Structure 1
Amino acid sequence: MKFRQHLLALGLGLSLAGPALATGLDALETFVKGTRSGKAEFTQVVTAPAREGQVARSKSSSGVFEFLRPSRFRFDYRKPFEQQLVADGQTVWLYDVDLNQVTARKQSQVLGSTPAALLASAPDLKSLEAEFKLSALPEQDGQQWVQALPKSRDGQIQSVKIGFKGEQLATLDILDSFGQRSVLSFTGFQANPSLPADTFQFKPPKGADVVQQ
């Protein structure tokens, strides 16, 4: 999976504490106010747009996600290939274990109007509304949904749909500007765990090829 595709999947996998919430917007607001850190297992299915006369092809991956506000994330991909995606607040690092290659980009330049900014960086709903047009969607598949449309037309995200099941964030459905769809599902969430600061530190392994972008 390319570096940008990983970035589009940042900042997810959080549960909500408190009573049942009436709409997806209520769930999102409660999440933004009350969830400072989180850890969950995730499954990601990426589907490329179908070419004429061909069936759309999908790729699945899974692993563990952790986050700590503000703007620190870690995705440990376990299957089918081992990769690490770490955002330390300054730099986003992508380490491909099989290739022994590290790609690094400045975090301020790559997050923008992404799911990371939508769910794990904004301090309140007002801040989100400055970057996204938010609207509640009808209940579907036992989940309450909210749609977020980036106000900036310069980004790589076309739309994001966030699904809440009961009090827990369950699904993130991302459509990028190239027509590629990425759906992330979360299980086994731990709300507001105490995460060591070094969880979000990354040092390129000895001998790894480091590419700065």
Structure 2
Amino acid sequence: MKKILLQTLAGLSLAVSSWAVSAADRTTLDNFFTQVNTMQAQFTQEVYDDGGKLRQKSQGNVFLSRPGKFSWEYRAPEAHRIVADGKNVWVHDVELDQVTVKPMSQALSAAPVGLLLNKQPVEKQFRVTELEPSGGMAWFNLIPHRRDSDFTAMDLGVSDRGIQEMVLRDKFGQETKIRFNGMSLNPAIPANRFQFTPPAGVDVIGKPS
């Protein structure tokens, strides 16, 4: 009887410990959406087609300012920049010497970080499901309540250092994997980081609102 009691207590202790870790990870997720005003990080991005084949790999830097502003800057393999200034989304393809501009309501799916722009409780924006831990991280599946983005679902990998990975799925069956490095939360970011003026001589497609 004593042995059974000790085993039961040990099981309860493990369950409480696991719950505590899960609660801490959930707090990290909640705080990211409600307490973060600005963010900057390096990223690597991999895009897979609907058959699971790697189609594109890139890296760069991301800057975020809530609400409504980001700068998603690819360094390699080609220079490319996507800027949301609060009203419009500007896409500058350096190789093509071309800029595309659209109102934010039509273009937030241009960059994965578009799903992180709003400073609101996560449940107001997404349906949240806890997933199995993997790679030393807790994972959460987030499905947007609003369906005005090409991205239909997002998995976030969370550790004690904050959000470390994003996996996004779109309505075309593609999967985009993002890994963040050197993430800094609530840093001071110059306002001009989120401003964009087309370089002289480039073709501009669309008109800003």
TM-score range, shorter chain: 0.7 to 0.9
The answer for the alignment partner of 2:107 in structure 1 is 110
1:22 equivalenced with 2:19 (yes/no): no
The answer (yes or no) to whether the contact 1:21–1:166 under 8 Å persists in 2 is no
Is 2:42–2:60's contact at 8 Å kept on the other side of the alignment?
yes
Please report the RMSD computed on the Cα atoms of aligned residues, expressed in angstroms: 2.3
1:185 corresponds to which residue? Answer: 179
The 8 Å contact of residues 42 and 62 in structure 1, kept in 2 or not, is answered as yes
CA pair 154-109 structure 1, distance change in 2 beyond 3 A: closer
1:90 aligns with 2:102: no
Deviation at 1:71, TM superposition (A): 0.9
Asked if 1 retains the 8 angstrom alpha-carbon contact of 2:25 and 2:159, the reply is: no
Q: 2:153 aligns with which of 155, 159, 162?
A: 159
Measured after TM superposition, the shift of residue 115 of structure 1 is 5.3
Q: Residue 190 of structure 2 is aligned with which of 171, 196, 199? A: 196
Report what 1:56 is aligned to: 53
Percentage identity across paired residues of the two chains? 32
The offset of 1:141, in angstroms, is 1.1
Distance 1:179 1:22 in 2: 32
- Structure with greater helix share of residues: 2
Equivalent position amino acid for 2:185 in 1: A
Aligned residue number for residue 43 of structure 2: 42
Q: CA deviation at 1:123?
A: 2.4
Tell me, which stretches of 5 or more residues in structure 2 are unaligned?
1-20
CA distance in 2, matches of 1:190, 1:151: 28
- Larger RCO (alpha carbons 8 Å, 6+ apart): 1
TM-score normalised by L of structure 2: 0.81
Q: Which residue of 2 aligns with 1:13?
A: none
- Cα 1:134/1:115, change in 2 over 3 Å: farther
Aligned to 2:72: 75
CA offset at residue 22 of structure 1?
2.7
For 1:69 and 1:153, the matched residues in 2 are separated by: 20
TM-score by length of 1: 0.80
| Whole-angstrom CA distance in 2 between matches of 1:154 and 1:197 | 27
Aligned to 2:193, the other structure's residue is in SS state helix
**Is residue 89–residue 104 contact of structure 2 (8 Å, CA) maintained in 1?**
yes
1:24, 1:136 within 8 Å by CA — same for their partners in 2? no
Structure 1 CA distance, aligned partners of 2:36 and 2:193? 18
**Which of 140, 147, 169 matches 1:146?**
140
Aligned match of 1:4: none
8 Å CA contact retained: 1:21, 1:27: no
Residue in structure 2 matched with residue 173 of structure 1 by the alignment: 167
- Distance in 1 of aligned mates of 2:24 and 2:169: 22
Deviation at 1:56, TM superposition (A): 1.8
Cα distance, 1:84 vs structure 2:
0.7
Q: Residue in 1 aligned with 2:7?
A: none
Q: Distance in 2 between matches of 1:117 and 1:28?
A: 17
Distance 2:66 2:78 in 1: 27
* CA distance in structure 1 between the aligned counterparts of 2:80 and 2:176, rounded to whole angstroms: 17
Deviations 1:186-210 (A, max 9, x none): 0011221111111100000000000
State the distance in 2 between where 1:28 and 1:70 align: 17
Mapped contact 2:35–2:119 kept (Cα < 8 A)? no
Whole-Å separation in 2 of the counterparts to 1:170 and 1:72: 20
